[in-house]
Amino acid sequence: MVSGYSQEGSFGLKAMWAFKEMTREDMKLDHVSLTSVVSACGQERDLKLGRQEKKTVKC
């Protein structure tokens, strides 16, 4: 989900929302999810949020 929203380009906020929901539900996320949400944060020009999200994923 996160990757799909991020790749579309105009759904950066939805990608970030999906990532937040997935982490709230304690879903196991991989490097693709992390890369996608950081990319979405860049698209939305919210680098502070991108740094926060990176900290939430244990790689």
One pLDDT digit (tens) per residue for the chain, 59 residues: 778 777 777 787 888 888 888 888 988 888 888 778 777 777 777 667 766 666 665 54
Q: Which domain holds residue 36?
A: 2-56
Token match 């991108």: residue?
50
Q: Which residues contact 1 (CB under 8 A, 6 or more apart)?
A: 15, 18, 22
In this structure, how many other beta carbons lie within 10 angstroms of the beta carbon of residue 32? Answer: 11
- pLDDT score, position 58: 55
- pLDDT score, position 59: 47
Q: Which residues contact 34 (CB under 8 A, 6 or more apart)?
A: 53, 54, 57, 59
- pLDDT score, position 57: 58
Q: How many domains does the chain have?
A: 1
- pLDDT score, position 34: 79
